[in-house]
Each structure stands twice: as structure tokens, then as C-alpha cells.
Amino acid sequence: MGLRIAYLMAVLVMAAGLNGCGGGGAPYESRAEWRDRVEESCLKSGVVRASSYVQAGSRLKGPSACGLQAPLKVSGTGGGRVMVTPTATIGCPMTAALDRWVQKSVQPAAHRQFGMPVVEIKQIASYNCRGRNGSRRGRLSEHSFGNALDIAGFRLANGQVITVVKGWWRGTPRERAFLQEAFAGACAEFFTVLGPGSDRYHYNHIHVDLLVNNASRGRHYCRPQPSRGGIPVAEAPGDLTTTASIKPIPFVGPGED
């Protein structure tokens, strides 16, 4: 078990350098006014508070429209009971959404499938000034504003590690069900959610962000789309099917990588 966990975590570390929604590149873009307003409103609301695991960082201002007025260094969520590794640099809205998702979806799914909580979330990309999927053309990624997170795996209280790259298609029935339930919950919480089967960039992680253009009347952009009882549907190796059973959610809007 120890060697298996060490191997899986090493794979995650390698993936962080290679596949966090693409590589570098920062096309020029003007900064939308809503970004600073939303960030300021979140900070004033008190929904996110400073702690040993949520600490304020210095203002970030990169090339183009990149940056954050008040970046947060997030090393934990769920009241500090769930580690976030490595520490993520994200804005207040993403910090709050991450906490809600863990509480409402991730932990209930973990308890249903394994009878124990998640104690660590492995992320492979937070703030990073670059274009979508690393392109130097087109639009900036939501990572450029600390408004996105790429999640590659979870660790349970007993030490078991569940990775997206392995568990989504070839995991045990419980691992697949857990990932699909967590994914469907993310589709309700975040405005953009992309996972394996959505395109070639997201085979090993779940991308979540809060791009307001992808939120309209409670509808969010989520790929693969939950259908047939809420199960994300995509071409799976060997026609492997998933096992989650989540209420379907309607989705509209353009994608964000």
C-alpha cells in the first residue's frame, strides 16, 4: 500500500509540471470590470476568513490582464480538515466555492462510497498567467486570474489515493462512483467544469472555474455532460461505464480551459 501511494503521488507531481490545462503563453486581453468587483465583494462578505490554512498574499499583476488584487494562499479547506497540496494561489470566490464543494459534494460522496472522509486534495494548477490550454492566441485562461483550479486526486483518511487519471476510467466501481459524484457536484457549484472525455487536455484532472460568462440562470458549462440519471457520458476505453447516480443538471455556454 505504501509503495502504491508513493507511486501515485509521484505521478501527480509529474503531471503538475506537464498537464495542468496546458503550458505557458499569455495573449493580450483587457481586464473585465466584474473580476475586481466580485473579488472585493467576496472579501467584504466575510465568507472567507484568514487562518493558518488561508493566508493573504501580495497583490499579483502579470502581463496582459493577469493578476489578483488579493490573492489567497490556500493550503487547506473544510475548516482545515482537508489539506490542499501543493498550496494553491486563488482568489476569494474560488476559495469559498472550493469549501462549499468539499462540504456539499466531495465529503458526502466519500462517506457514501468509502465510509470515511477525504483528508487531502491534490491540485496541479492554480494561478498561472497564460492562455487557455497554453495557447499564446485567443483568450486568457481563468487560471490567469486565480479563478480556476485543476484537481488531480484525493486522499482518504485511511491513506488510499484516488487519482483522476486512473480512477475515472479504470478505477474500482467505488472509485469511479466517487469521482463521478464529486464531478456532478462540481457542475452545480462552479461555472465551468471539465474532466476526462471533454477534450485531450483534461484526461488527468478536473478543471473548475468561476467564469461568469458560463453562468446563466443557474446553468453552468460542464463537460462531459451529466445525462442518463446524471452520469457524465463520454467515450470510455473498453466501453467502461461509470456508476454515479446524480440528478441531471442543464448546461449551456462556451468552454473554458
DSSP letters, 10-56, are: HHHHHHHHH-SS--------PPPHHHHHHHHHHHHHTSS---SSEEE
| 254 within a domain of the structure (yes/no) | no
CB 244 within 8 A of CB 184: yes
Give 48-101 pLDDT, tens digit per residue.
999 999 999 999 987 888 999 999 999 999 999 999 999 999 999 999 999 999
Domain that holds residue 221: 2-239
Rounded average pLDDT over 178-182: 94
Rounded average pLDDT over 185-190: 94
| 24 within a domain of the structure (yes/no) | yes
| 251 within a domain of the structure (yes/no) | no
| 245 within a domain of the structure (yes/no) | no
Q: How many percent of the chain have pLDDT more than 90? A: 61
> What count of other Cβ atoms lies within 10 Å of the Cβ of residue 52?
8
Mean pLDDT of the residues in the chain: 80
CB 189 within 8 A of CB 97: yes
| 256 within a domain of the structure (yes/no) | no
The total domain count for the chain is 1
pLDDT greater at residue 123 or residue 24:
123
Give 10-49 pLDDT, tens digit per residue.
434 434 433 455 444 566 778 888 999 999 999 999 999 9
pLDDT of residue 20: 52
CB 142 within 8 A of CB 20: no
pLDDT of residue 63: 81
| 84 within a domain of the structure (yes/no) | yes
Rounded average pLDDT over 114-133: 92
pLDDT of residue 8: 43
Rounded average pLDDT over 225-236: 50
Answer yes or no: is pLDDT of 102 > 80: yes
Strand, coil or helix: 6: helix
Confidence band of 139 (pLDDT split at 50, 70, 90):
confident
| 247 within a domain of the structure (yes/no) | no
pLDDT of residue 134: 58
pLDDT of residue 163: 97
| 15 within a domain of the structure (yes/no) | yes
